[in-house]
Structure 1
Amino acid sequence: MSASLSLRFLHCHVNPGSFGYVTRPFSQNAVKQGYKYVNAQELPTDMRSITDRAATTLLWTELFRGLAMTLSYLFREPATINYPFEKGPLSPRFRGEHALRRYPNGEERCIACKLCEAICPAQAITIEAETRADGSRRTTRYDIDMTKCIYCGFCQEACPVDAIVQGPNFEFSTETHEELLYNKEKLLNNGDQWEVEISENIKADYLYR
């Protein structure tokens, strides 16, 4: 008996009291029924198809087609820019460096509701507040740990008075870790510096807020 025929009729004897006989046929039909061939296709055998395949292989047509695609990019406008001397456009929804805004009369917008602190998933915001003589609440401490911030924009979305925002500035790298621990004064200075751009971005996006 040949080896293939022996494998085809191979079976394993086990204890009859438990499972009885277990047989496993080894045939090509079992493989074909158990698997689905996705890209299986037969190549045509006519003379024209054979000639085309031979020409593609011998003349390297696919190689020259790729080289032509590469050379075409030499005559196109480059996609890169010469940063930092050139800068690309930013979306009005760009989430950059944080800032605290003021009203036109100079009054702070923040009402110390602490919604931004509560919604921050990274717990990067720390707020302390007190009540003023007129009954309004204002912050005495507003800290953001920029090393924890994930720039999700939840604080900006939760703020009911558009006090805490993420401005268009993305160039605020520092040399020390301490410089990335923003306090209230730093955030207010950012708001004063970028107020024009921030207000324009909010106006451009007001229909979707």
Structure 2
Amino acid sequence: MLGQLFAPVAGFGVTFGTMFRKVPTQEYPEVKRPTAPRFHGRHQLNRHPDGLEKCVGCELCAWACPADAIYVEGADNTDDARFSPGERYGRVYQINYLRCIFCGLCIEACPTRALTMTNEYELADSERAPLIYEKHQLLAPLRPDMLTPPFPMAEGMEERDYYRGRVTGATRGQQDYVEQRDARRDDAASDADAAQVEARS
């Protein structure tokens, strides 16, 4: 008789047992939980130690993607405009994060280790367009000892030397080339500004 009386109350035993426990709530976004070292987050296009891009525009990542989230257009390097050590570079590189399933197959397909995945996971947005990342958003930032492409390969080095790790940084010849290139650009910009002032007057 007594057991039947307390039977309805016994069903709340779990509820009462957890009612006064501390709730393990993660206060996101104020407190961000660290990710695992091999977490599959936003992609990154890597660079060689001198600043040249590792991507050679082979499009293997786009072929490997099961969600058709990657679009690549390769272009030929020239002596005046070299962006990677190879014959080609990725002129256009897009990843559609509305489609990407973060499977990592693109990383496995990349023959030059140009594409890797970071720990960044905050990719939400209220519009569709910002979630299609362009090449300039995916490229790894330049370190202080790197140069901004385009510029020639390191003196005496070939493409294979880059992938064998023999290039450890920008050489003096590459630095001189970039300085002269930037000076020519500044002169051309100054001439264009002067021409516009003369045209207005």
Pairing partner for 2:99 from 148, 153, 168? 148
The Cα shift of 1:113 comes to 2.3
Higher relative contact order (CA 8 A, sep 6+): 2
**Matched residue, 1:108:** 53
RMSD: 2.4
Query: Matches of 2:2 and 2:60 in 1, distance apart?
Result: 69
Residue 36 (structure 2) aligns with: 91
1:125 maps onto 2:76 in alignment = no
Gap regions ≥5 residues in structure 2: 79-84, 143-201
Question: Where do residues 50-69 of structure 1 align in structure 2 (5 Å cutoff)?
Answer: 56-60=3-7, 63-64=9-10, 66-69=11-14
Paired position in structure 2 for 1:171? 122
- Do the aligned partners of residues 58 and 71 (structure 1) sit closer, same or farther apart at CA in structure 2, a change above 3 Å counting? closer
Q: TM-score, normalised by structure 1?
A: 0.56
Report percent identity of matched pairs.
37
Kindly name which structure, 1 or 2, has the bigger radius of gyration based on alpha carbons: 1
Deviation of the 1:119 alpha carbon: 0.6
Tell me, what secondary structure is at the counterpart of 1:57?
helix
Gaps of 5+ in 1: 1-53, 194-209
Give the total of aligned pairs.
136
In structure 2, the CA distance between the partners of 1:63 and 1:100, relative to structure 1 (3 Å rule), is farther
TM-score of the superposition, structure 2-length normalised?
A: 0.58
> How far apart, in 1, do the equivalents of 2:25 and 2:34 lie?
13
**Secondary structure, in 3 states, of the residue corresponding to 1:138?**
strand
Measure how far apart 1:157 and its partner are: 2.2
